[in-house]
């Protein structure tokens, strides 16, 4: 693997450039942490740029309002704190990120664990487990359709515009699919909000507890949770100066609270968004799913999740995986700038966590993610020169 690590230098250089574009250009992100590995070997674990740089966004100048330099907070990993890489090191200095839609992967794993134990049938109807979801019952939506985004539900609803938790859930329960379930794929946060309610009804426990007891605690993911405590605040990357018209709520600069407006409206614990984590913790999850760590699922359940068409995971998507796509790579992205890719063909993983919405959101651009995936793919391909 030494040769592979030597060839990974282009990946290191690419991520460094992503986080530190020259002044006068609009960088893709204020800062980034990248972790890549193969099997038990860490190939890259680096942090570049700033976890906190801006106090606000100035709409008039279309630029971030920078904090005094002494208040900028660097991105950090254990390596940047002078520690050795690897699962045994102290990860207490690593930058914590709002994972956004990477949360869906954890909800998926919880669902697969529940299916393994006979609590749900993947082809069972949502109405069998949560009959209060009357629209899902009327249209026969199944658990598998939620996991594969084939329920026909809209991408999202403005639940944040409703007063009170019960009114928000009432709107969700009554929302019918826009297209017939099972006929087309349409990515939707609503799928995972329904799935959350199914899992909570079946188990009698909150999703936060199910994630903790079924995934993060067994894997030693000590920096992964919903609603991070105030003690973590110095480690957490800022997200957005959230204001209308570019955002859906007026909340100001966010740090340590969930960015997604619906997850915020639902109390910070949601099936589609809300988890916070670090690159080091996500590395532990990647290894477990690749068969190199403590198992959280049976092998056949992992196969169902990670093989086409995928359950919860996106399969072979070059727009964010680059040249890792094409051999069954599985992964996901998050709106705040996060992404994760597993390549079972080479037992490798790529975790890229950035704060692309700091100080404000921009049109989606996954070119840097794809370039990082291509750099890793080429680094692990014998005889192929790096970028």
* Domain parsing of the chain, residue ranges: 2-100+236-379, 106-207
Least confident of 157-161, 212-216, 221-225, 289-293: 289-293
Confidence check: pLDDT of 265 > 80: yes
Determine the pLDDT at residue 266. 96
Architecture of domain 2-100+236-379: 3-Layer(aba) Sandwich (3.40)
What does the alpha-carbon distance between residue 370 and residue 365 come to, in Å, rounded to a whole number? 10
pLDDT tens digits, residue range 285-320? Answer: 999 999 987 889 999 999 999 999 999 999 999 999
User: What are the Cα distances from residue 302, in Å, to 41, 132, 333?
Assistant: 21, 30, 19
Categorize the per-residue pLDDT at 81 as very low, low, confident or very high, splitting at 50, 70 and 90: very low
pTM given for the model: 0.93
Question: Are 267 and 373 a contacting pair, CB within 8 Å?
Answer: no
pLDDT tens digits, residue range 23-61? Answer: 445 678 899 999 999 988 888 898 988 999 999 999 999
pLDDT tens digits, residue range 328-359? Answer: 999 999 999 999 999 999 999 999 999 999 99
User: What are the Cα distances from residue 71, in Å, to 22, 50, 53, 55, 138?
Assistant: 20, 10, 8, 10, 54
H-state helical runs in 176-329: 189-203, 207-211, 217-219, 261-265, 279-289, 299-306, 318-321
User: What are the Cα distances from residue 356, in Å, to 33, 230, 338, 368?
Assistant: 12, 23, 9, 11
pLDDT tens digits, residue range 232-254? Answer: 999 999 999 999 999 999 999 99
288-294: long-range contacts, CB 8 A cutoff, minimum separation 24 = 288/219, 289/342, 290/39, 290/342, 290/344, 290/347, 290/348, 290/349, 291/347, 292/39, 292/40, 292/347, 293/87, 293/219, 294/218, 294/219
Residue (of 90, 6, 16, 82) closest to 43 by Cα position: 6
181, containing H or E segment:
none
Write out the DSSP string of 29-75. Answer: -SEEEEEEEETTEEEEEEEEEEEE-EEEEETTTTEEEEPPGGG-EE-
């Amino acid at each position: 693997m030494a040769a592979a690590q030597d060839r990974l230098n282009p990946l290191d250089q690419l991520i460094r450039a992503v986080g530190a574009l020259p002044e006068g250009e609009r960088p893709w992100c204020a800062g980034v942490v990248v972790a890549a590995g193969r099997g038990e070997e860490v190939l890259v674990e680096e942090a570049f740029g700033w976890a906190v740089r801006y106090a606000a966004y100035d709409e008039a100048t279309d630029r971030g309002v920078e904090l005094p330099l002494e208040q900028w907070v660097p991105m950090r990993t254990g390596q940047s704190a002078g520690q050795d890489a690897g699962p045994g090191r102290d990860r207490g200095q690593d930058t914590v990120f709002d994972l956004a839609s990477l949360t869906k992967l954890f909800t998926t794993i919880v669902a697969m664990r529940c299916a393994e134990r006979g609590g749900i049938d993947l082809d069972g109807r949502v109405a069998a487990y949560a009959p209060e979801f009357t629209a899902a019952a009327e249209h026969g939506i199944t658990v598998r359709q939620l996991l594969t985004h084939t329920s026909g539900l809209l991408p999202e609803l403005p639940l944040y515009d409703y007063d009170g938790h019960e009114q928000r859930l009432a709107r969700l329960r009554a929302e019918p699919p826009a297209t017939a379930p099972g006929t087309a794929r349409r990515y939707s946060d609503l799928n995972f909000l329904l799935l959350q309610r199914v899992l909570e009804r079946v188990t009698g426990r909150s999703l936060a507890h199910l994630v903790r007891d079924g995934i993060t605690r067994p894997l030693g993911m000590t920096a992964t949770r919903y609603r991070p405590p105030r003690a973590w605040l110095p480690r957490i990357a800022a997200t957005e100066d959230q204001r209308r018209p570019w955002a859906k709520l007026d909340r100001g600069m966010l740090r340590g609270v969930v960015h997604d407006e619906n997850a915020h409206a639902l109390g910070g614990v949601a099936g589609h968004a809300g988890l916070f984590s670090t690159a080091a913790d996500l590395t532990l999850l990647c290894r477990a799913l690749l068969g190199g760590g403590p198992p959280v699922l049976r092998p056949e359940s992992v196969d169902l999740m990670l093989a086409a068409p995928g359950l919860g995971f996106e399969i072979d998507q070059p727009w964010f995986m680059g040249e890792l796509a094409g051999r069954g790579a599985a992964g996901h992205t998050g709106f705040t700038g996060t992404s994760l890719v597993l390549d079972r063909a080479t037992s490798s993983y790529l975790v890229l966590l950035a704060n692309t919405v700091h100080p404000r959101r921009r049109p989606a651009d996954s070119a840097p993610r794809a370039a990082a995936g291509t750099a890793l793919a080429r680094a692990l391909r014998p005889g192929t020169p790096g970028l």
